[in-house]
C-alpha cells in the first residue's frame, strides 16, 4: 500500500510538470488556433538562456551570491523570451493568419528547428546545469500511518507547488485583468474580438510571451532535474497526450490531463512494465489519451465539436 501510494504521489508530481509544458500549448492554441510544436524548443531555449546567463553573470558583474545571479539570469531570460515571442509573431505568424491547421503546425515545426539551431549556436550544445537551490534530498512522510513511511522527493514537491502557483496566477490573469479578458475574447471569436477593437497582433504577442514564460518555468524545473541538454526539447512530445486528453482549449484540462497521464505512466511502468520489457511509459501515455478520446473526441474539457453541413 505504501509503495502504491508512493508511486501514485510520484505520478501526480511528474504530472504537474507535464501540465506545465501542456499549459504553453493550450494558451497558444486557445488564443490563435496554432498548435505550437515549437513549445519544446522554447523550453530548451529558455532553459539554455537561464543556465548560461546564471553562469556568465557572476563573471561579468563580479557578483558572488548565487541567488542574485539566478534572479538576474531569470530577468534576462524573461526578456529574451519576450523578444523571441515578438519575433515569432512579427516574422512568421502574422503572415500565416487564416491558414489551415496543418500548415500552421508545420510552420511551428520550422520555428522549432530555428530555435534549436540558434539556441545551440549562441549558448553551446553541451550539458549545462541550472542550480536554483532546489533541495535534492528525499523526505519521509506519514511514518505514523504506514510502516516505513512514504519516500517523497522534495524537489518534485516544490516543483509541483511552483506549477500550481503558476496555474493559479495564470487563471487570475485570465479571469480578472483587462488583458486576460481580451485574450478570452480573441479565443472565443477572432472576428468578433477584432470588430470591437481588440488588436489581434498585440494579443498574439502577449500570448506567445506568456507561453514563453511558462516555457521558462518549465525549463528551469526540468533543467534542474535532468540537466539542460538537447533532449529537453523532446519533453514537448511527452506533454502532447496531456494536451489532447485535457482538451486543446482548456487550462484546467491541461492540469487534470497532466495528473491523469502522470499517474497512468508511473503506475503502468511499475505494474505493467516488467511483463512486456519496460520502457512503455511513452506510448502508454498516448494509448491512455486515445482511450479517453474514443469516448470524448474533444478531450475531457475541450469545447464540444458541433458538425454542421
Partner 1 sequence: MFYRENGQFKTTYKADQQAFVIPQDRWAIVALVAFAFLGVPLLVDEYMFRAILVPFLILSLAALGVNILVGYCGQITLGAGASMAVGAYAAYNFMIRVDGMPALAAILLGGLMAALAGIVFGAPSLRVRGLYLAVATLAAQFFWDWAFLRIKWFTNNSSSGSVSVADINLFGWTINSPTDKYLFCLGVLVAFSVMAKNLLRGNMGRQWMAIRDMDVAATVIGIRPMYAKLTAFAVSSFYLGVAGALWGFVNLGSWEPAAFSIDRSFQLLFMVIIGGLGAISGSFFGAAFIVILPIFLNQMLPLVGSLFGLEVSIALVSHVEIIIFGTLIVFFLIVEPHGIARLWATGREKLRLWPFPH
Residue 161: half-sphere exposure toward Cβ, Cα within 13 Å:
7
Q: How far is the CB of 282 from partner 1 (least distance, A)?
A: 5
CA dist., res. 140 & res. 153, Å (int): 9
In the bound state with partner 1, the residue whose beta carbon lies nearer, of 35 and 74, is: 35
Does residue 125 interact with partner 1 by CB under 8 A? yes
Does residue 102 interact with partner 1 by CB under 8 A? yes
Q: How far is the CB of 185 from partner 1 (least distance, A)?
A: 22
Site map (CB under 8 A) of partner 1, residues 34-53, x = contact: -x------------------
CA dist., res. 222 & res. 215, Å (int): 10
Nearest residue to 41 (alpha-carbon basis) of 170, 205, 207, 212:
212
In the bound state with partner 1, the residue whose beta carbon lies nearer, of 152 and 236, is: 236
In the bound state with partner 1, the residue whose beta carbon lies nearer, of 35 and 222, is: 35
In the bound state with partner 1, the residue whose beta carbon lies nearer, of 182 and 240, is: 240
**How is residue 128 annotated by DSSP?**
B
Q: How far is the CB of 213 from partner 1 (least distance, A)?
A: 23
Q: How far is the CB of 50 from partner 1 (least distance, A)?
A: 20
CA dist., res. 106 & res. 35, Å (int): 9
In the bound state with partner 1, the residue whose beta carbon lies nearer, of 94 and 136, is: 94
- Phi–psi pair at 80, nearest 5 degrees: -60, -45
Instruction: List binders of partner 1 among 236-295 (CB under 8 A).
Output: 237, 240-241, 243-244, 248, 276-280, 282-283, 286-287, 289-290, 293-294
Does residue 120 interact with partner 1 by CB under 8 A? yes
Does residue 103 interact with partner 1 by CB under 8 A? yes
Q: Which of 66, 83, 110, 145 binds partner 1 (CB under 8 A)?
A: 110
Q: How far is the CB of 128 from partner 1 (least distance, A)?
A: 16
C-alpha cell at 223: 533543467
Contact (CB, 8 A) for 246 and 22: yes
In the bound state with partner 1, the residue whose beta carbon lies nearer, of 118 and 226, is: 118
Size of the site for partner 1 (CB under 8 A): 52
**How is residue 140 annotated by DSSP?**
E
- Phi–psi pair at 140, nearest 5 degrees: -95, 140
Contact (CB, 8 A) for 92 and 104: no
Q: How far is the CB of 198 from partner 1 (least distance, A)?
A: 24
Q: In Å, how far from its chain's centre is CA 4?
A: 27
Q: Please enumerate, as own/partner, the contacts of 154-159 that have beta carbons within 8 Å and a separation of 24 or more.
A: 155/224, 155/225, 156/10, 156/13, 156/14, 156/17, 157/13, 158/134, 159/13, 159/16, 159/17, 159/134, 159/221, 159/225
Instruction: List binders of partner 1 among 127-186 (CB under 8 A).
Output: none
Interface residues with partner 1 (CB under 8 A)? 35, 91-92, 95-96, 99-103, 105-107, 109-118, 120-121, 125, 237, 240-241, 243-244, 248, 276-280, 282-283, 286-287, 289-290, 293-294, 297-299, 305, 307-309
Amino acid at each position: 500500500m505504501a509503495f502504491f501510494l508512493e508511486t501514485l504521489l510520484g505520478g501526480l508530481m511528474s504530472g504537474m510538470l507535464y501540465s506545465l509544458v501542456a499549459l504553453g500549448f493550450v494558451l497558444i492554441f486557445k488564443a490563435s488556433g496554432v498548435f505550437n510544436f515549437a513549445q519544446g524548443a522554447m523550453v530548451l531555449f529558455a532553459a539554455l538562456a537561464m543556465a548560461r546567463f546564471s553562469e556568465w553573470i557572476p563573471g561579468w558583474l563580479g557578483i558572488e551570491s548565487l541567488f542574485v545571479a539566478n534572479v538576474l539570469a531569470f530577468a534576462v531570460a524573461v526578456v529574451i523570451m519576450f523578444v523571441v515571442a515578438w519575433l515569432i509573431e512579427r516574422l512568421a505568424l502574422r503572415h500565416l493568419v487564416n491558414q489551415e491547421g496543418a500548415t500552421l503546425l508545420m510552420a511551428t515545426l520550422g520555428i522549432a528547428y530555428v530555435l534549436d539551431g540558434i539556441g545551440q549556436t549562441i549558448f553551446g550544445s553541451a550539458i549545462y546545469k541550472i542550480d536554483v537551490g532546489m533541495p535534492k534530498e528525499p523526505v519521509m512522510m506519514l511514518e505514523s500511518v504506514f510502516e516505513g513511511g512514504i519516500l517523497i522527493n522534495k524537489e518534485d514537491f516544490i516543483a509541483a507547488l511552483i506549477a500550481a502557483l503558476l496555474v493559479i496566477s495564470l487563471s487570475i490573469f485570465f479571469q480578472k485583468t483587462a488583458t486576460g479578458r481580451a485574450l478570452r475574447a480573441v479565443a472565443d471569436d477572432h472576428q468578433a474580438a477584432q470588430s470591437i477593437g481588440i488588436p489581434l497582433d498585440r494579443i498574439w504577442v502577449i500570448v506567445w510571451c506568456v507561453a514563453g514564460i511558462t516555457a521558462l518555468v518549465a525549463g528551469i524545473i526540468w533543467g534542474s532535474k535532468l540537466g539542460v541538454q538537447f533532449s529537453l526539447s523532446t519533453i514537448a512530445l511527452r506533454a502532447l497526450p496531456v494536451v489532447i486528453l485535457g482538451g486543446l482549449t482548456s487550462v484546467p484540462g491541461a492540469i487534470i490531463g497532466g495528473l491523469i497521464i502522470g499517474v497512468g505512466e508511473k503506475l503502468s511502468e511499475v505494474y505493467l512494465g516488467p511483463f512486456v520489457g519496460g520502457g512503455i511509459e511513452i506510448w502508454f501515455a498516448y494509448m491512455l489519451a486515445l482511450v479517453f478520446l474514443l469516448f470524448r473526441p474533444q478531450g475531457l474539457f475541450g469545447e464540444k465539436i458541433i458538425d454542421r453541413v
